[in-house]
């Protein structure tokens, strides 16, 4: 536990701390003594002002200490530390969190992680569906278990309800032509239905008519054509030209893209005939996010352009402590490659 009261001998060693700071930074860089702080038992840090113009608010910190029952104060370390008013760089943020929509430009590449939550596996080329598909063997096995647990009674009951509804529907269809009256009777029935709507409700005559299933009106409603007017082929062409001009293959972003949108996992295809040439971008970091793009368009945020694999963890070091290598304390005189010294030759050569 740190002592709040600085040690007396360490606190008085201002000259020793000043000399250490001057030796480390120079006399022109060290200013006046700002104070002393106790870092522990018999450990004190002295702070001196920094005169460097590039380090305003910083302080030279010199730590001194002394051993137990000793009167000599020794030097520990000298460092330059920021003070309360020092100008510091902002906290480092990873690029994946620092990137914002609109930062990507032509030629930029935004890698995606291998386990990106915005993407999931698509068609792998295999005939068998994935385990989480509705038509997989695992899903069929779960349905079989559900049938065994609940029994066929529920299925028969559901079939009876469906059969009753079908019989009622057929009866209604049979009664339809017979119940059709004259125009006056139809008008009278409409007025009665309007009165039965009440003061707070909406008259049924105002509500849109319900179309019968399988009729031409129902088919038109399903295709989105039950409107006063629909987009003509000419209007479709000029819209396609406008979209292709803004987000098509000739844009600078598409020219520098690593791949086209037709192979990108962030593309949401359109319906109808536009599906063959256009889609909607769903990548928030792409400049075309939420816009209709051509299948030939592309950007650096392509899902398969650069996939970042997970960093592999190195295996822990293995130390074999079962075998010990013998190391002789004294070198072996007969184990070297130098021949032993012999008798000198006549000419003095050895």
**Digit-coded pLDDT (tens) for 267-303:** 999 988 888 999 999 998 898 999 999 999 999 889 8
Q: Which two tokens stand for residue 282?
A: 């769903």
Residue 267 β-bridge partners: 281
Residue 38 β-bridge partners: 44
**What whole-number distance in Å separates Cα of residue 263 and Cα of residue 276?**
13
Contact indicator for 36, 63 with CB cutoff of 8 Å: no
* Burial label, 112 (beta-carbon count in 10 A; 0-12, 13-18, 19+): buried
pTM over 0.75: no
Each residue of 80-103: pLDDT tens digit? Answer: 999 988 888 888 888 777 888 777
What pLDDT does residue 77 have? 92
Q: Which two tokens stand for residue 90?
A: 């902002």
What pLDDT does residue 78 have? 93
Q: Which two tokens stand for residue 336?
A: 């070297």
All residues at 6 or more sequence positions from 10 whose CB lies less than 8 Å from its CB, including other chains: 36, 42, 43, 44, 64, 65, 66, 73
Residue 77 β-bridge partners: 63
**What whole-number distance in Å separates Cα of residue 321 and Cα of residue 187?**
102
What pLDDT does residue 273 have? 83
Which residues in the chain come in under a pLDDT of 70?
1-3, 123-139, 149-214, 223-225, 308-311, 321, 331-350
């Amino acid at each position: 536990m740190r002592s709040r009261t600085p040690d007396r001998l360490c606190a008085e060693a201002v000259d020793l701390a000043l000399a250490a700071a001057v030796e480390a930074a120079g006399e022109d860089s060290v200013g006046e003594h700002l104070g002393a702080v106790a870092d522990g038992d018999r450990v004190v840090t002295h702070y001196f002002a920094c005169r460097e113009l590039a380090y305003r608010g910083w302080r030279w910190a010199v730590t001194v200490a002394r051993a137990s029952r000793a009167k000599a104060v020794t030097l520990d370390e000298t460092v330059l530390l920021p003070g309360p008013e020092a100008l510091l760089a902002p906290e480092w943020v990873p690029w994946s969190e620092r990137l914002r929509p609109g930062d990507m430009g032509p030629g930029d590449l935004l890698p995606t992680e291998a386990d990106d939550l915005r993407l999931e596996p698509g068609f792998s080329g295999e005939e068998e569906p994935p385990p989480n598909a509705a038509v997989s063997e695992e899903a069929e096995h779960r349905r079989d278990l559900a049938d065994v647990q609940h029994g066929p009674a529920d299925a028969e009951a559901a079939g009876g309800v469906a059969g009753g509804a079908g019989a009622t529907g057929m009866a209604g269809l049979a009664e339809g032509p017979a119940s059709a009256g004259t125009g006056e009777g139809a008008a009278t029935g409409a007025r009665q239905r309007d009165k039965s709507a009440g003061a707070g409700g909406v008259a049924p005559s105002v509500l849109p008519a319900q179309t019968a299933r399988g009729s031409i009106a129902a088919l038109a409603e399903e295709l989105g054509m039950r409107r006063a007017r629909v987009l003509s082929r000419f209007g479709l062409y000029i819209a396609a030209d406008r979209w292709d001009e803004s987000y098509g293959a000739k844009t600078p972003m598409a020219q520098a893209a690593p791949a086209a949108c037709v192979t990108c996992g962030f593309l949401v295809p359109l319906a109808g005939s536009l599906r063959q040439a256009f889609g909607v971008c769903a990548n928030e970091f792409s400049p075309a996010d939420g816009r209709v793009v051509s299948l030939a368009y592309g950007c650096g945020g392509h899902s398969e352009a650069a996939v970042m694999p997970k960093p592999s963890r190195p295996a822990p070091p293995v130390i074999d402590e079962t075998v010990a290598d013998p190391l002789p304390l004294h070198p072996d005189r007969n184990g070297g490659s130098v021949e032993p010294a012999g008798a000198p030759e006549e000419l003095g050569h050895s």
